[in-house]
A and B are shown apart, each in its own frame.
Chain A
């Protein structure tokens, strides 16, 4: 029995434990402890992450009709698994205390929640451990259904929406696998990879294209992104934190596996698209850039905090894919590192919003404001999270985005670069709106007695915030894992050091950047305190052009936060994707109506008439 088996058994145990503990008070805590156990088991495999071991195989093998199913972990799987289990542990920790109690009181079932979360983790671990394409598909289905279960806890309607997408995705993947099997005669990774070099461009187009569409649905690549936002936003808070952090990245994992490991990005460069100057890789890069731009700008229009974050979750996926398809050492490192970074800040942001919802009962940005004085730690968590999400120094999001920018400059793709920057700017605008409308501005009368979230919710947030800052300060901590992933999937390996990257033409040393930034803040603090003593005043002691303010009149600016911008770009939002989806749905509706019409109502006279006409026609002719 290898370590991998122990991990999977432990994960299975988590599901059983969650089932067994039911709605007991200790349910959440006990599950959290077992997640921690999984994390320890993963840490014992950390040789994978540091490139000391190349793979750990599972002792379990199944043979069905001469087809051998097997499972194994390599650096890529380990990297994703580590993020998954850590995210699950923190989400479970976050949910274990006060949140679970409130959830139970509202009529939710903690048993279902814990089981769904544990099943998700189990499914993801099985997926990540897959050793060939068939076990990948099995893992994929496990993850899809587990995700459905978690989403269904929030809103059945949106979960069904997801399910339709997931089934279409599964069918597409199945088709791609069949094509692969027909062309190659095997589903083993190394055999497929060998055979892929000999396949003609058309087959690669079909196989690669179908795989990317199938896995891209999970990752919410444009134009298959419509299911994600509403479903994630409706999921119970800690579940949304987990899903937002890592669930969609399973699609990225599979895409990396197929495109990088099996087909190879360099192969994509040799596949031109007729009548354009683009290659298949450029097409993917543009899909990634549009996945950054459109969802980010859509996020800008949201006034529900959870939906805003979920839209950003889609957008950030684009940076990862973009970095990976650029495929040089910097870009792919940026893309992979962004998986980790995104998981940290997205989780903390969802947690912070959940804490606000837990205390105030709403995530509507027009109904909040001024909560900093009441929930300072949640504010801190959100602040660190949004700096990470916007990709500004000194948080970790900056490092991964810097790597992607740098690789695009080296690659000489100004328009892709511009696209990523538009995404970043849009993100800055929308996250400021998020933090301003929640924590800054005027405190509402009804929120004056609000308290900070309980310790069980605050601690995981603080832990994640510390991780975001530390990995921004010493990006080498994560870049080590990323470098072994690059080696494992056959990408050029990044030369890194603890503070970032040394490069002849423009490196990055975050230790210096962050230290100088902190020193700057320290000096500015001294300058600040050199001035006269200040006195804090009540929020109603405020300039209002001579008006006397009262607490029951709102003196806050939150709705339609960017009117000037929307005046210009507002008409550009045409919800084309939504309409496309609706068109597709109504077309299917129509076809099925037609079919059921044929099936249900027999029209013997009509059939007979048709037959007679056809026979007469034949005879006459």
Chain B
């Protein structure tokens, strides 16, 4: 598979307020010191996380805490191989997380399929489908390696470099195309990424394209139910 270059130039908007930069740095610092982690562990790497979290290595001293639902989490930790069925759930979970959000791929399987590279049922390269911030290679990486990787992510966040979550909005067409290749054309998640990108002004030329056009042909409407007194006839209705 030929991969398109999807790196985007880092824009530095001019800030008139000098305090704004201080504020941004403070927020980045807080983000780096408080990482709520959703571990999506269907593969074998899961076994390395308990020692990393509990008394042996204690992630909480770094401000890393396990969380339960995608809404609460900052980091999506994917350990081990991702089967095609699993990947659907991973993408849905990722889309439900609140930005800034980071994806950490643990084990070789997320990098290139690892020992499952021949399998018809696994999605081999995770970053084709989601913007991955950091890979921790190894089969499996030891807890020290996991923590080392997470510390690297921390320093990236602190310096404001971990912005790959924006890529998902700005290059949505690319990611959706890869997802459609795998799941078929009628693939749709419950989260309306394009509307969200528009709402937060994260849209770019690559957000929409021929793949999103395919999506929009069959997409079930996902507008929120807003409180209203009268029912308008022309209003979009869900099937």
Query: Which residues on A are within 8 Å of B, measured CB to CB?
Result: 370, 372-374, 376-377, 443, 445, 448-452, 533, 535-543, 546, 548-549, 551
Which residues of chain B are within 8 angstroms of A448 by Cβ–Cβ distance?
Answer: 225, 237-238
A541 touches which one: B96, B199, B200, B227 (CB < 8 A)?
Answer: B96
Query: In the bound complex, how far is the Cα of B82 from the Cα of A212, in angstroms?
Result: 74
B190 contacts A541, C-beta separation under 8 Å = yes
B227 contacts A535, C-beta separation under 8 Å = no
A447 to chain B, nearest CB (A): 10
How many chain-B residues does the 8 Å CB contact rule pick out? 28
**Is B224 interfacial (CB-CB < 8 Å)?**
yes
Query: Which residues on B are within 8 Å of A, measured CB to CB?
Result: 69-71, 88-89, 92-93, 96, 189-192, 196, 199-200, 222-231, 237-239
Query: In the bound complex, how far is the Cα of B225 from the Cα of A541, in angstroms?
Result: 12
B19 to chain A, nearest CB (A): 15
Query: In the bound complex, how far is the Cα of B70 from the Cα of A363, in angstroms?
Result: 35
A374 contacts B228, C-beta separation under 8 Å = yes
Query: In the bound complex, how far is the Cα of B227 from the Cα of A541, in angstroms?
Result: 17
A535 touches which one: B88, B196, B239 (CB < 8 A)?
Answer: B196
Known contacts A376-B229, A451-B230, A452-B230; decide if A538 and B237 are in contact (CB<8 Å).
no
Most buried by B among A376, A448, A543: A543
B34 to chain A, nearest CB (A): 15
B190 to chain A, nearest CB (A): 4
8 nearest interchain CB pairs? Answer: A536-B224, A546-B89, A373-B225, A452-B229, A376-B227, A541-B190, A538-B222, A543-B69
Query: In the bound complex, how far is the Cα of B237 from the Cα of A427, in angstroms?
Result: 37
A536 contacts B226, C-beta separation under 8 Å = yes
Most buried by B among A449, A546, A548, A551: A546
A548 contacts B92, C-beta separation under 8 Å = yes
B224 contacts A538, C-beta separation under 8 Å = yes
The contact sample of 20 A-B pairs, CB cut-off 8 A, is: A373-B225, A374-B225, A374-B228, A443-B225, A448-B225, A448-B237, A448-B238, A450-B231, A451-B229, A535-B196, A536-B226, A537-B222, A539-B224, A539-B225, A541-B222, A543-B70, A546-B92, A548-B189, A549-B190, A551-B239
Binding site secondary structure of chain A? loop
B159 to chain A, nearest CB (A): 21
Q: Please name the residue on chain A nearest to B233 by beta carbon.
A: A449
A538 contacts B92, C-beta separation under 8 Å = no
A358 to chain B, nearest CB (A): 15
Q: Please name the residue on chain B nearest to A373 by beta carbon.
A: B225
Q: Please name the residue on chain B nearest to A450 by beta carbon.
A: B231
B227 touches which one: A373, A450, A546 (CB < 8 A)?
Answer: A373
Q: Please name the residue on chain A nearest to B72 by beta carbon.
A: A543
B222 to chain A, nearest CB (A): 4
Q: Please name the residue on chain B nearest to A551 by beta carbon.
A: B238
Which residues of chain A are within 8 angstroms of B88 by Cβ–Cβ distance?
Answer: 548
Query: In the bound complex, how far is the Cα of B224 from the Cα of A443, in angstroms?
Result: 11
A538 contacts B223, C-beta separation under 8 Å = yes
Known contacts A451-B230, A543-B69; decide if A535 and B200 are in contact (CB<8 Å).
yes
A535 contacts B96, C-beta separation under 8 Å = no
Which residues of chain A are within 8 angstroms of B70 by Cβ–Cβ distance?
Answer: 543
Most buried by A among B190, B196, B224, B226: B190
Which residues of chain B are within 8 angstroms of A370 by Cβ–Cβ distance?
Answer: 225
A548 contacts B93, C-beta separation under 8 Å = no
Q: A373-B228, A541-B191, A543-B70 are in contact. List 5 more A-B contacts (CB 8 A).
A: A372-B227, A374-B225, A537-B191, A538-B192, A551-B239
B190 contacts A548, C-beta separation under 8 Å = yes
A535 contacts B199, C-beta separation under 8 Å = yes
Query: In the bound complex, how far is the Cα of B227 from the Cα of A452, in angstroms?
Result: 10
B93 touches which one: A533, A537, A546 (CB < 8 A)?
Answer: A546
B24 to chain A, nearest CB (A): 13
Q: Please name the residue on chain A nearest to B198 by beta carbon.
A: A535
Which residues of chain A are within 8 angstroms of B190 by Cβ–Cβ distance?
Answer: 538, 540-542, 548-549
Which residues of chain A are within 8 angstroms of B224 by Cβ–Cβ distance?
Answer: 536-539
Known contacts A538-B190, A543-B70; decide if A449 and B222 are in contact (CB<8 Å).
no
Which residues of chain A are within 8 angstroms of B92 by Cβ–Cβ distance?
Answer: 546, 548
B204 to chain A, nearest CB (A): 18
Q: Please name the residue on chain B nearest to A550 by beta carbon.
A: B220
A542 to chain B, nearest CB (A): 7
Query: In the bound complex, how far is the Cα of B224 from the Cα of A541, in angstroms?
Result: 9
Q: Please name the residue on chain A nearest to B227 by beta carbon.
A: A376
B222 contacts A540, C-beta separation under 8 Å = yes
Query: In the bound complex, how far is the Cα of B189 from the Cα of A541, in angstroms?
Result: 9
Q: Please name the residue on chain B nearest to A546 by beta carbon.
A: B89
Query: In the bound complex, how far is the Cα of B92 from the Cα of A546, in angstroms?
Result: 7
A455 to chain B, nearest CB (A): 10
B227 to chain A, nearest CB (A): 4
B65 to chain A, nearest CB (A): 18
Query: In the bound complex, how far is the Cα of B234 from the Cα of A620, in angstroms?
Result: 102
Which residues of chain B are within 8 angstroms of A538 by Cβ–Cβ distance?
Answer: 190, 192, 222-225
Query: In the bound complex, how far is the Cα of B227 from the Cα of A443, in angstroms?
Result: 12
Q: Please name the residue on chain B nearest to A375 by beta carbon.
A: B229
Query: In the bound complex, how far is the Cα of B69 from the Cα of A525, in angstroms?
Result: 25
A533 contacts B200, C-beta separation under 8 Å = yes
A29 to chain B, nearest CB (A): 22
A293 to chain B, nearest CB (A): 37
A543 touches which one: B71, B230, B238 (CB < 8 A)?
Answer: B71
B164 to chain A, nearest CB (A): 19
Which residues of chain B are within 8 angstroms of A543 by Cβ–Cβ distance?
Answer: 69-71, 96
Query: In the bound complex, how far is the Cα of B226 from the Cα of A373, in angstroms?
Result: 6
Which residues of chain A are within 8 angstroms of B93 by Cβ–Cβ distance?
Answer: 546
B201 to chain A, nearest CB (A): 10
Most buried by A among B69, B71, B227: B227
Which residues of chain A are within 8 angstroms of B196 by Cβ–Cβ distance?
Answer: 535
Query: In the bound complex, how far is the Cα of B238 from the Cα of A540, in angstroms?
Result: 11
